[in-house]
Amino acid sequence: MTGPTAPIAVDILDSTTVHIHGEPIAVPPGVDPDQAVMSYLQLEAAGVGFAIHANIDDRRYGVKATLTINPDGSAATDPHSMPVTPPPTRPVEHTPQPTPAQQELAQLQSLAVQGHLDAATQRAETLLLQLSTDPSLGPEHPDTLKAAETRAHLAWIARDYSYAYRTWSWIAATWHERFGTCPRNRSHDHDLCRHIAVSTSNAAAAWTRLPAEEALQLGQELLHLINRHSGSPSTPAATGIQSRITQLQAHTA
């Protein structure tokens, strides 16, 4: 069954920068961004339980395409779709003022872009602590989780893959615990599935960069996270993780 969800926007900016749903997705060093995109899309399709569509804008080569990704991990170019075109221009609508937390996130993200990674990381730590301990918000509030996502991305940039993995896996688990299992065939809950899928995919990307001993210790935990999201132990993502676990076990035996 194909769910009536809008196509997923995928922007491949360069060899290390990918945005899905407008959010950055971790691309491990040495991994083709096409592979990272497919891994994420396969995970999301498995999680929602129906075929999803993605509008791919690969700015490296000026290529645009529409893909259909099935829950079993198979994918194909949609033969009935036209090349992706920009949406029609709409009148400018009033947008709500950003919250103080959103303003702080924007400022520290700007610091990171300018190369001030240490300063951005310190401000992210402070913001995350403030939001987590705020009685009106707490550690499971969406603003807190978004701050944690930013902190995890900063850890990824700094190649602190252990911190990045633990943070992204915690975020995915928290989204799941706060809102429940990703519903199948319910398009209005697709945004929830996206949050869980993004965090799970990024956690898996960080796990692939961990030292062998730490990766072995955390491998089953990651498989549990992926299986809980997808509802299936045989997704391409889970198969890839299990394959690496087997290889690591053989090398450390």
Instruction: Kindly report which listed range (90-94, 120-124, 158-162, 212-216) carries the lowest average pLDDT score.
Output: 90-94
pLDDT of residue 191: 66
> Mind listing the pLDDT tens digit for each residue in 178-235?
766 665 544 445 566 777 878 888 888 889 889 999 999 999 999 998 888 766 667 7
**pLDDT-based confidence at residue 7 (cuts at 50, 70, 90):** confident
**What average pLDDT does the segment 89-112 reach?**
70
Write down the residue that tokens 């994420």 correspond to: 40
**pLDDT-based confidence at residue 94 (cuts at 50, 70, 90):** low
Start-to-end Cα distance in the chain: 44
Separate counts of helices (H) and strands (E) for the chain = 8, 6
Nearest by Cα to 63 from 16, 102, 106, 13: 13
pLDDT of residue 87 exceeding 50, the answer is no
If you count them, how many residues does the chain have? 253
For residue 142, the tally of other CB atoms under 10 A from its CB is 13
Pair 66, 55: CB distance under 8 Å:
yes
d(CA 181, CA 107): 33
Exposed, middle or buried, 3 (CB in 10 Å: 0-12/13-18/19+)?
A: middle
pLDDT of residue 171: 92
> Mind listing the pLDDT tens digit for each residue in 104-113?
887 887 777 6
> Mind listing the pLDDT tens digit for each residue in 17-72?
888 888 777 776 677 788 888 877 877 776 666 788 889 888 887 778 888 888 77
Say which DSSP state 188 is in: G
Q: 24 by DSSP, 3-state: which?
A: strand
pLDDT of residue 5: 65
**pLDDT-based confidence at residue 75 (cuts at 50, 70, 90):** confident
Pair 32, 44: CB distance under 8 Å:
no
pLDDT of residue 113: 65
For residue 234, the tally of other CB atoms under 10 A from its CB is 12
pLDDT of residue 76 exceeding 90, the answer is no
Say which DSSP state 51 is in: B
Q: How far is CA 253 from CA 86, 181, 211, 214, 250, in A?
A: 54, 37, 16, 15, 5
Contacts 24+ apart (CB under 8 A), 140-148: 140/174, 140/177, 140/178, 143/99, 143/101, 143/102, 145/171, 145/174, 145/175, 145/195, 146/101, 146/102, 146/105, 147/101, 147/105
Who has greater pLDDT, 41 or 92? 41
pLDDT of residue 179: 66
> Mind listing the pLDDT tens digit for each residue in 28-41?
667 778 888 887 78
> Mind listing the pLDDT tens digit for each residue in 130-156?
999 999 999 988 889 989 988 998 888
Taking the domains of the chain in order of start, what are their residue ranges? 97-158
**pLDDT-based confidence at residue 91 (cuts at 50, 70, 90):** very low
